[in-house]
Structure 1
């Protein structure tokens, strides 16, 4: 649902100050063309300290984390300060619902609401935790998933949930999702479980296909899907580059979760050629650009550990630019705390149509400047040579 920003922020303010019902909230991302927020990400949650209930604001920028506790009676001003900053995404979890607010380029607010799911558990005052995927779901038992895997599953679905309506509201009675390089398929199962419920609410069926080159992985996935009782979840042996999970039909959702090195690029290239409306990729092992940086003696990449970390950032920045050039609205976000996995970045891309000529030219200029400065050519550009050339021609 799209509404005006003032109304949406007033609603979020009310939810944040309703501390008996608030579980947590997160402000992240930034709105283009405005002063960047003071912190990359702020998490808000109610806590009880010795002198009474407080709202706790935890701000994170890179490795720097700061915490501020404000008495509930004085929290209005702190909440107003937070909402006055140019965050692009607001996520609020309460005892009854999960609210996602995304602020568009035009300054409107796209609001998605979903009912909360509850799990009794430990914590301050035994507050119920909201879960989009039931922690007692038989999927976890079948997969033998422990606490860390369950947290990754929940975090992943929370990234998927606010973007799914754009896919689920389309025409037709079937939604198609594919996980390219699915591996052990924890997140394939989770995505299918959540999406199938959301699709049923709209009178649609969901078919999800996990694709992997290993026959033993595919066989295990098929057995687990049958044991967990997940109709519509299928697995196929095949490469990412050659995947055609639905024949001539286009996938609505393309996932590539911890596909190593250029396997992520293969999945993104496949998604672009399909024109997939929604793409979720959690990259892993950015060795392609890292190898290209090896001869560069700049201080930033002279040492191996710095070169590895910078290659991660540079690769995903270039992937983001290329996807934008080729018609996607892109966000690169942290989908789970690094304590659970160091590979915690996610590329979220929604098909928006090719940008106008001047916008394309600006994105290409940024891309060219980065590749020229560091002497690299990302794998995704090599895989989409024809599409990139066409975009350059259109930008002239």
Structure 2
């Protein structure tokens, strides 16, 4: 894959985006080295999705842009409106473009020298573009998907059960985060490109009933068409038996391992580590395993931050921050923030680029923070370690994760 002039590569992307028959879906994500976040409709955005939809007034290019908190949708009529919208997007400093057409997958990554590395792959079978514009058809897994039915999220008629709407929203938001994260990591070379012989290895630590394990496998293999092998780890034999049965029903080749997060034995190190709502220091165990494996991508949604909270109750609050810990509810919330800030710092010191993002809207769950870490292999700037040292010294705490990993502090 030779480097191309960026303008030439973007012209190729332009033609793909403006093809109302061939475009299935396109995703722009990340930012070019040293550039600000792309700016769409007066908002900083981290990701944009495009596809063509059929409205009453004709075919339109639909652009969905995602900032830190929500999605915004705009539709542009095919022709001059769509051309202007695409021109504006291509002028923004996105670092990666992933374009699915009916016949091929195209990936573009912008290098530090502002050149473009382009990878194109033919499809084994042609895709059919979905042109419906209603919200249901924008979902990553349809309501009647066999995985959702098997997991009890949808009923036998393929409709989401009223009592499982929150779980379905969680699955969808997780898949959006997983999709954009893998797209970015593959484009930048932080994840190896999977093959049929060497599929992408995904492990879900503390998988429970494996809702997200199965959703990830289904989406990555059937929608993204990536070779993938999933493994779920849980301490309960009952969970492993249940999940193995579900996998057999769905015809999915997956592994389920019984054991603690810290001691689970896997035949090969995973490429992607998931740890969603692992309680208290179980999240630290999962992050430590991911660091030890050298996983390329880590998605962790922490839960129940008791460890640092207990340390704060025993420590003397430094001046002038007494008001942060005087009231129990404020101390607990501060402990949540402090815990995840320290985890993010340790991950950075371990060679990861880290984002802290909203998992699902807080209206659905108060535990809605997600740590997204991509292994870049670069030593963190010296001030990251200095800030970390100052923070733990000021508050008199010792993060569990710091006890579990050995960091090269230079």
**TM-score, structure 2 as length reference:** 0.69
Sort the Cα spacing of 1:337 and 1:117 in 2 relative to 1 into closer, same or farther, 3 A.
Answer: farther
How far apart are residue 100 of structure 1 and its match? 5.1
Q: In structure 2, what is the equivalent of residue 141 of structure 1?
A: 149
What is the total number of aligned residue pairs between the two structures? 378
Does structure 2 retain, via aligned residues, the 8 Å contact 1:179–1:209?
yes
Q: In structure 2, what is the equivalent of residue 181 of structure 1?
A: 206
Give the 5 Å matches for 1:107-256.
Answer: 107-109=114-116, 123=133, 137-146=145-154, 147=160, 148=168, 151-152=172-173, 154-155=175-176, 158-159=179-180, 161-162=182-183, 163=185, 166-169=191-194, 176-193=201-218, 208-231=230-253, 233-246=254-267, 249-256=268-275
Instruction: Report the Cα distance in structure 2 between the residues aligned to 1:8 and 1:25, rounded to whole angstroms.
Output: 15
Instruction: Report the Cα distance in structure 2 between the residues aligned to 1:136 and 1:367, rounded to whole angstroms.
Output: 47
RMSD: 4.7
Alignment match of 1:364 (pick from 385, 399, 409): 385
Alignment match of 2:83 (pick from 76, 81, 92): 76
Sort the Cα spacing of 1:329 and 1:180 in 2 relative to 1 into closer, same or farther, 3 A.
Answer: same
Secondary structure of residue in 2 paired with 1:254: strand
Sort the Cα spacing of 1:328 and 1:301 in 2 relative to 1 into closer, same or farther, 3 A.
Answer: same
Sort the Cα spacing of 1:270 and 1:66 in 2 relative to 1 into closer, same or farther, 3 A.
Answer: closer
Does structure 2 retain, via aligned residues, the 8 Å contact 1:41–1:60?
yes
Give the 5 Å matches for 1:231-380.
Answer: 231=253, 233-246=254-267, 249-289=268-308, 297=321, 315-332=339-356, 346-353=370-377, 355-356=378-379, 359-368=380-389, 371=392, 377-380=398-401
Instruction: Report the Cα distance in structure 1 between the residues aligned to 2:397 and 2:275, rounded to whole angstroms.
Output: 23
Sort the Cα spacing of 1:112 and 1:215 in 2 relative to 1 into closer, same or farther, 3 A.
Answer: farther
Q: In the TM superposition, what whole-angstrom CA distance separates every residue of 1:244-274 from its partner, at most 9, and x where no partner exists?
A: 232xx43343322332333222111012122
Sort the Cα spacing of 1:88 and 1:179 in 2 relative to 1 into closer, same or farther, 3 A.
Answer: same
Instruction: Report the Cα distance in structure 2 between the residues aligned to 1:271 and 1:95, rounded to whole angstroms.
Output: 36
Instruction: Report the Cα distance in structure 2 between the residues aligned to 1:54 and 1:373, rounded to whole angstroms.
Output: 55
Give the 5 Å matches for 1:47-66.
Answer: 55=61, 61-63=67-69
**TM-score, structure 1 as length reference:** 0.71
Sort the Cα spacing of 1:2 and 1:276 in 2 relative to 1 into closer, same or farther, 3 A.
Answer: farther
* Structure 2: gaps of 5 or more residues: 155-159, 161-167
Q: Which moved more, 1:216-225 or 1:170-179?
A: 170-179
Q: In the TM superposition, what whole-angstrom CA distance separates every residue of 1:335-366 from its partner, at most 9, and x where no partner exists?
A: 6677776656544444443x35xx44243234
Does structure 2 retain, via aligned residues, the 8 Å contact 1:182–1:188?
yes
How far apart are residue 182 of structure 1 and its match? 0.8
Q: In the TM superposition, what whole-angstrom CA distance separates every residue of 1:268-298 from its partner, at most 9, and x where no partner exists?
A: 1012122334433343444545666775747
How far apart are residue 221 of structure 1 and its match? 1.2
Sort the Cα spacing of 1:293 and 1:130 in 2 relative to 1 into closer, same or farther, 3 A.
Answer: same
How far apart are residue 306 of structure 1 and its match? 7.3
* Structure 1: gaps of 5 or more residues: none
Sort the Cα spacing of 1:91 and 1:330 in 2 relative to 1 into closer, same or farther, 3 A.
Answer: farther
Sort the Cα spacing of 1:119 and 1:95 in 2 relative to 1 into closer, same or farther, 3 A.
Answer: closer
